[in-house]
Amino acid sequence: MNKWLSIVLLASMFGIMAGCSSTTKEDTTAQPETSSANTDTTSGADVGSTGNATEMANGQADALSKRVIYFEFDSSDVTSEARDIISAHAQNLSQNSRLSLVLEGHADERGTREYNIALGERRAKAVKQLLVVQGVQASQIQVISFGEERPAAVGHDESAWSLNRRVELLYSGS
């Protein structure tokens, strides 16, 4: 495990312990738009209100700390790596039925805005589908698409676009 990932994992573990009562949507969408990379984890978020970190396998904790699924251009196909992340969240959600999740679908700036809203929705629904087949109640999941309206990274090249074609998993415990 590299150093950066350890830091992220630590931060996320801290989040588990510190953030149990949080019910507000995490501030992922309100992050300042800079061209610096938005890593595929979001720090300071609570993974789950009843999560027992010590029982969690390291690999699963890794996967669970990842809250963003990335996509290819004009695609809603989920990569095998992303499937592992989704499976970890599926387990977390199905074990904690009081948790709910907002899936925010996003697209890069290329192409047309309304098509991108539909594409963002399709991406979020592809993630939702994988969660549901693994035992998550559909009622735990809400899908919202922002299309290209809320980029994670600004810039007009592939380095920004690849960070913007995404679905964000936003937890809100109850």
Partner 1 sequence: MNKLRRFIIPLFLVLVGFSAVVRPGFAALTIDITQGIDGALPVAVVPFKWLGTGPTQGSKTEAPENIGAIVASDLRRSGRFAPVPENDLVGRPSHGSEVNYAAWRALGVDNLIVGHVKPLVDGTYEVQFQLLDMFKAEQLAGYKILSRRSNLRRTAHQISDLIYKALMGVNGAFDTNICYVTVTHNRQKEKVYRLAIADSDGYNEKVILETKSPLLSPSWSPNGLQLAYVSYSRGRPEIYVQSILTGQAKRVASFAGINGAPAWSPDGKSLALTLSKDGNAEIYIQNLARGTTQRVTRNSAIDTEPAWLPDGSAIIFTSDRGNGPQLYQVEVDSQGARGRPQRLTFEGGYNARASISPDGKFVAMVHRIEGDFRIAVLERESGYLRVLTESRLDESPSFAPNGSMIIYATEYNNRGVLSAVSVDGRARQRLQLSEGDVREPAWSHFKQK
- Which is closer to partner 1, CB of 29 or CB of 97? 29
Among 11, 70, 122, 134, the residue binding partner 1 under the rule CB under 8 A is: 122
Query: Is residue 70 within 8 Å of residue 164, measured between CB atoms?
Result: no
Of residues 133 through 172, those in contact with partner 1 by CB under 8 A are 143-146, 149-150, 156
Among 26, 46, 62, 121, the residue binding partner 1 under the rule CB under 8 A is: 121
Among 5, 13, 20, 118, the residue binding partner 1 under the rule CB under 8 A is: 118
Question: Residue 12 is encoded by which pair of tokens?
Answer: 């996320």
**Cβ atoms within 10 Å, residue 75:** 13
**CA distance linking residue 25 with residue 174, whole number of Å:** 11
**CA distance linking residue 121 with residue 105, whole number of Å:** 5
- Which is closer to partner 1, CB of 62 or CB of 121? 121
Question: Residue 31 is encoded by which pair of tokens?
Answer: 């992050």
Q: With binding defined as CB under 8 A, does residue 113 bind partner 1?
A: yes
Q: Which of 13, 18, 1, 8 has the alpha carbon at shortest distance from 39?
A: 8
Binding positions for partner 1, rule: CB under 8 A = 32, 74, 109-115, 117-119, 121-122, 125, 143-146, 149-150, 156
